[in-house]
Amino acid sequence: MTTLEKDLETRLAEDHHQAIKLWLRLLTCTNLITGKIRSRLRENFATTLPRFDLLAQLERHPEGLRMGELSQRMMVTTGNVTGIADQLEAEGLVRRESDPKDRRSVVLRLTPKGREVFSAMAKVHEGWVIEFFEGLSPEEKDTLYALLGRLKQHLNGRRNP
């Protein structure tokens, strides 16, 4: 084996190792943050991340969202959304409304109480997230945001399920 071949092979192996290391670090960062948010939501508001997430989606869409739309935005199955919506409905934070145009559909909306409860949590939650990322300068955050954007685009590319 020539020196050139060895170099190529080494570089390739390093690139492969690089992707794995990058993935593990990405996963670690996400796990660290979700872990912190999860425990703080529990301690401060006696709620959970998926519940918070569902309310956050509805907050952004006052016109309401169907179960399928919610599941896409939350990146979970519709069966999962059904269960979380059941809880929040029982707690009076969301309301199921039937879509007159399509009787299969259920439209979920925040109740006034849900809007009130969520907005109190959202303010605090935003502060946590700012805190988690304040180790990076605004420029670094921009760069990270852009790189993740390229990654996301690649991951969502066609023939890439």
Partner DNA sequence: TGTCATTATTTTAAGTCTAAATAAAAGCCG
Partner DNA sequence: CGGCTTTTATTTAGACTTAAAATAATGACA
> Is residue 148 a contact point for a copy of itself (CB under 8 A)?
yes
Alpha-carbon torsion (105, 111, 116, 120), positive or negative: negative
| β-strand partners of 94 | 110
Residue 26 binds to a copy of itself (criterion: CB under 8 A): yes
Query: Looking at beta carbons only, is 23 or 83 nearer to a copy of itself?
Result: 23
Q: Please tell me whether residue 121 binds DNA under the rule CB under 7 A.
A: no
What are the helix (H) ranges across 46-60?
A: 49-60
- Contact segment (CB under 8 A) with a copy of itself among 34-42, 85-93, 96-104, 108-116 equals 34-42
Distance (Å, whole) CA 87 – CA 114: 12
- State the virtual CA torsion across 69, 96, 89, 57 in degrees, nearest 10: 30
In single-letter form, the type of residue at position 4 comes to L
Of 132, 100, 114, 13, nearest in space to 61 by CA: 114
104: left (phi over 0), alpha (psi -120 to 50) or beta: alpha
Answer with the entry of DNA, a copy of itself, none that 134 interacts with (C-beta below 5 to 8 A by kind).
a copy of itself
Q: Which of residues 126-145 bind a copy of itself (CB under 8 A)?
A: 126, 129-130, 132-136, 138, 140-145
Residue whose CB is less far from a copy of itself, 3 or 137:
137
Binding-site member from 6, 8, 10, 16 for a copy of itself (CB under 8 A): 16
Figure out which of the listed residues 60, 154, 158, 159 binds a copy of itself, where binding follows CB under 8 A.
154
Give me the residues that bind DNA (CB under 7 A), please: 35, 38-39, 42, 48-51, 66-69, 75-87, 96, 102-107
